[in-house]
Amino acid sequence: MGWTDERVELLKRLWQEGLSASQIAKQLGGVTRNAVIGKVHRLGLSGRATPSKPARTVFKAPRPPRPVSAPSAPRRLMEPGAHATHPTPVRYVDEPPGTATVLTLGAHMCKWPIGDPALESFTFCGRRTDDGPYCHEHAQVAYQPAQARKKTSAAELARSLRRYL
């Protein structure tokens, strides 16, 4: 069904009254909601007398203030001497260029980068590895031993559970 002058005038009037495109399509009959939207756009109808759905004002009740707890002494994260084992110190060595480049690096070669990747002199260690990506010396630097876990007290457990309740 085409857009006659009478249907266009009816469309303009219904649009200005604030009806939605779906409601206008039902009243006109024979057109879809998208056809109404397209015609409104082509006619340049933008202003409406009232919106199709009135905006609701949402009332939010103010939050009650958080209870103020008594100031406590600052917590210590670790007691002195709490570590049973001291980690091995990290060794940084100014190394000579390695024997492998990106093109020559193989599956069982140490992939420890040496130098600046932006420079032509950038290489990899290239020593033989048995397990993992690094040789023994570079693996000691790359992998630090796991810290021993401190046993938690009942009070600490209750405090951590309060966060989730």
pLDDT, one tens digit per residue, over 56-103 is 667 777 778 777 766 555 554 455 455 555 555 545 556 677 778 888
- Quote the pLDDT of residue 9: 92
Condensed to tens digits (0 to 9), the pLDDT of residues 107-128 reads 889 998 888 888 888 889 888 8
Please state, in angstroms and rounded to a whole number, the distance separating the CA atoms of residues 95 and 93.
6
- Looking at residues 139-152, what average pLDDT do you find? 76
Please state, in angstroms and rounded to a whole number, the distance separating the CA atoms of residues 8 and 84.
86
- Quote the pLDDT of residue 160: 78
Percent composition of the chain: helix, strand, coil (DSSP 3-state, to 5): 30, 5, 65
Average pLDDT over the chain reads: 77
Residue type, 5: D
pLDDT at 25 over 80: yes
pLDDT at 37 over 70: yes
Q: Are 39 and 11 in contact (CB under 8 A)?
A: yes
